[in-house]
Structure 1
Amino acid sequence: MSYNKAMSKPTEAELEILSLLWEKKEASVRQIHEEISKSKETGYTTTLKIMQIMHAKGMVSRNEKSRTHIYMPATNQGETQKSLLKNLMTTAFGGSAKKLVMQALGQENPSKEELNEIREFLDQLERDS
């Protein structure tokens, strides 16, 4: 099975695994499966198959030197998030960053600390432009 690395966007399950790998830097299928099993019921073979597909897509690399394969993220977290966000903004919000941000802030009740961080970020964007 051959995949075009540039064209593959992670599915929800793949993104969940990538998030764990970005956090852990590297992990076995068993370690990832144990983490996922804390929040939902899933079979070990399902986790294994998803990670094998992700390897074929180029989303993860693996060290095959020992009996237990160790997987590492092969995609950059920031670039992946940026790509997914751009796609979401284009398809769901007609390309409008304002609509996306307003919707995101309307769904949650940001803390005072989060609002201050958002203000600081906006101030920085204004200074840089």
Structure 2
Amino acid sequence: MSKPDVPSKPTSTELDVLQVLWHLGPSSVKQVHRTMQIARPDLPYANVLRLMQVMHSKGLLIRDESERSHVYAPAESQKATQGNLLRDLIHKAFAGSGKALILAALQGHVSREEREEIENLLREDDR
């Protein structure tokens, strides 16, 4: 199966794996499984293995096969993946309006401290 030039959009569970790999760095399935078991103790190793194999075939992960235990890493950085997901969300849910996304996020989804931090960033950007 050939890998796509552009990785597909990750599912929620695939994002969980990517979060682990962005935190740990390149890792074996065993390392990812151990980390994911903290939040989900009943998660079978075989499920994580299969998921990471599927993610590799979708182009979401790269795999180093030089060692006995294959080592996986995200195909894209966290920032690139988040940017792609955000662009898709803006396009699909907010009719292409970044402003509408920001306004929706600010209404009940941002703490007072986060709002102050955002305001400071906006002020710095104006300088």
Secondary structure class of the residue paired with 1:82: helix
Secondary structure class of the residue paired with 2:39: coil
What is the TM-score of this pair, normalised by structure 1?
0.84
**1:24-103 mapped onto 2 (5 Å cutoff):** 24-40=24-40, 41-103=42-104
In structure 1, runs of 5+ residues without a counterpart are none
Provide the aligned C-alpha RMSD in A: 1.9
Letter in 1 for 2:105: A
Percent of aligned pairs with the same amino acid:
39
Q: What are the superposed Cα offsets for residues 70-119 of structure 1, whole Å, 9 maximum, x if unpaired?
A: 1122212111111100100111111122221222222434142x222201
Change (3 A) 1:25 1:53: same
Letter in 2 for 1:10: P
In structure 2, runs of 5+ residues without a counterpart are none
What is the TM-score of this pair, normalised by structure 2?
0.85
**How many pairs align?**
126
